[in-house]
Amino acid sequence: MFENLSLKIEKAFKTLKGEGKISEINVAETVKEIRRALIEADVNYKVAKEFTDKVKESALGQNVLTSVSPGQLMVKIVHDELTALMGKRNEGIRISNDPPSVILISGLQGSGKTTFCGKLARMMKSQGKSPLLVACDIYRPAAMDQLTVLGDQVGVEVYKEPENKNAVQIATNAIAYARKNNKDLVIVDTAGRLAVDEQMMQEIEQVKKAINPAETLFVVDAMTGQDAVNTAKVFNERLDFNGVVLTKLDGDTRGGAAISIRAVVDKPIKFISTGEKMEAIDLFHPERMATRILGMGDVVTLVERAQKQFDEEESARLQKKLRKNEFDFEDFLSQLQQIKKMGNLKDLVGMIPGMGKAMKDVQIEDDAFKHIEAIIFSMTKKERQNPLIIDGSRRKRIADGSGTSIQQVNQLLKQFMEMKKMMKSMNKLAAGGRTLKNLPKMK
């Protein structure tokens, strides 16, 4: 996400590298490059023009401090203006004071609405809510089945009426059912519709009027770029939705929708979704997204994702084993599986400052750990707990059982032993009370 845009904006900043001060000439050149980069990333031309005009105005009104270079100052100005453009802060979901709170999901065909419904239900359930998913897509074959499968995956009940072809009736019946069954949140999945389909647009207007949702969200596929923004505008005129959900941000997207949609429809982006996994959903934070666009990573989101997956008891147990240098392959496997739950691997790497650029052309598949897991699963419990006993014949058996080569098994064992050696050295330093601060200086 945003790889090409990040590189082009970085190139634009190089215009100011080595400059002693900000001047109208070097700012104009930098701003022109940034505008070009934004338009190539499919940002609405008017939005790109207004944005770069603001950047130029801010830059020319600044006095550069002696400790800050013009390039660094320009990065800060662009970061602040990008954050403002995308909404300044995250705007959470509205919850009604009179349960159940109803959330209506709308959008184009194929935008990822049904998958998002499952993700949102899982997220709200983890926050202590009791959600009910409602299948109101009465047109798409197997739409109800898909929602049912997702509901089973996240442990949330799905309300459906397979024989009923009246979406308004299904939605109102579902809310009545939710009240009777102590559900405090109702997520209504609707059929994908084209903005030009008058009959379908009227139907979703009628559904909204009948159920009076606390929140109406418009789900849009970020890969459709500028078309997504234009569609959002039409839907907003008809539905007056409360917020936008950007899906498929892990795809080969130019990122223009994320940057322009707020400015065009004047509605906040509330969620972003990456990948098919039910965990792959985040609240949209404009400041963090601006940081990522400028190639500076997003450590805060990375830490938040890790905290959701790693429970305190497991972490305490692991720390104890690390201190005693008893970390084994069973612990290693457990940690791998936790990392996989955090989402798309390339997306995670992109959150580490500097890594997005470094890994630009590297393909990181979601099954990158597959052969490592296969090797560990082929070990006996005794071998996992004590890798030192894995001799030549055991290595061959493990390779055959995991469908890998003896070289791959050897490589994993070697890396694991090196990691243990490093942990042991760190433990010795900690036990001796020696820190990097008081280590002897190199002569």
Contact between 244 and 269 under an 8 Å Cβ cutoff? The reply is: yes
How far apart are the C-alpha atoms of 102 and 213, rounded to whole Å? Answer: 5
pLDDT band at residue 300, thresholds of 50, 70 and 90?
low
pLDDT band at residue 263, thresholds of 50, 70 and 90?
confident
| Res 66: pLDDT | 47
The structural domains of the chain, with segments of one domain joined by +, span: 3-85, 101-295, 304-431
Number of H helices, E strands in the chain: 20, 8
How far apart are the C-alpha atoms of 179 and 168, rounded to whole Å? Answer: 17
Closest by alpha carbon to 87, among 302, 283, 253, 298?
283
The 10s digit of each residue's pLDDT in 71-115 is 777 888 888 888 888 887 888 888 888 889 999 999 888 888 999
Query: At residue 403, does pLDDT exceed 70?
Result: yes
Q: Per the structure block, which two tokens stand in for 190?
A: 């609707």
Largest Cα–Cα distance of the chain, in whole Å?
Answer: 83
Residue ranges of alpha helices (H) inside 136-255 are 143-154, 167-180, 198-211, 226-239
Query: At residue 360, does pLDDT exceed 70?
Result: no
| Res 254: pLDDT | 62
Location of structure tokens 């190539």:
40
Q: How far is CA 350 from the centre of its chain?
A: 10
How far apart are the C-alpha atoms of 310 and 382, rounded to whole Å? Answer: 25
Query: At residue 30, does pLDDT exceed 80?
Result: yes
How far apart are the C-alpha atoms of 149 and 158, rounded to whole Å? Answer: 9
Q: Lowest mean pLDDT: which of 6-20, 131-145, 289-303, 351-365?
A: 351-365
Closest by alpha carbon to 72, among 85, 81, 82, 59?
59
- CA distance readout (Å), 403 to 54, 157, 370, 374, 432: 58, 40, 11, 8, 44
Residues 95, 98, 267: CA angle, nearest 5 degrees: 30
Closest by alpha carbon to 299, among 288, 290, 310?
288
| Res 434: pLDDT | 43
Q: Per the structure block, which two tokens stand in for 3?
A: 């790889």
β-pairing, 131-136 vs 185-190, is parallel
Contact between 254 and 225 under an 8 Å Cβ cutoff? The reply is: yes
| Averaged pLDDT, 309-337 | 70
Location of structure tokens 């003896």:
406
- Matching CATH number, 304-431, of 2.30.40.10, 1.10.260.30, 3.40.50.2300, 3.40.50.1100: 1.10.260.30
- Matching CATH number, 3-85, of 1.20.120.140, 3.30.70.2750, 3.40.50.620, 1.10.1270.20: 1.20.120.140
How far apart are the C-alpha atoms of 290 and 274, rounded to whole Å? Answer: 17
Location of structure tokens 């809310």:
175
Contact between 275 and 282 under an 8 Å Cβ cutoff? The reply is: no
| Averaged pLDDT, 229-240 | 87
CATH top-level class of 101-295: alpha beta
312 φ, ψ (degrees, to nearest 5) = -65, -40
The 10s digit of each residue's pLDDT in 150-198 is 999 999 999 999 989 999 999 999 999 999 999 999 999 998 877 667 8
Residues 349, 274, 215: CA angle, nearest 5 degrees: 135
Please name every residue paired with 273 in a beta bridge, in sequence order, or none if there are none: 281
Kindly state the helix (H) or strand (E) to which residue 104 belongs, with its residue range.
Answer: strand 101-107
How far apart are the C-alpha atoms of 190 and 197, rounded to whole Å? Answer: 15
Residue ranges of alpha helices (H) inside 222-328 are 226-239, 256-265, 286-293, 299-309, 312-323
pTM score over 0.85: no
How far apart are the C-alpha atoms of 82 and 293, rounded to whole Å? Answer: 9
CB atoms within 10 A of CB 101: 22
Start-to-end CA span in the chain (Å): 46
Determine the 3-state secondary structure of 157 from DSSP.
strand
Q: For the chain, how big is the Rg over CA atoms in Å? A: 26
Which amino acid appears at position 308 of this protein? K
Q: Which residue has the higher pLDDT, 393 or 229?
A: 393
Which amino acid appears at position 87 of this protein? G
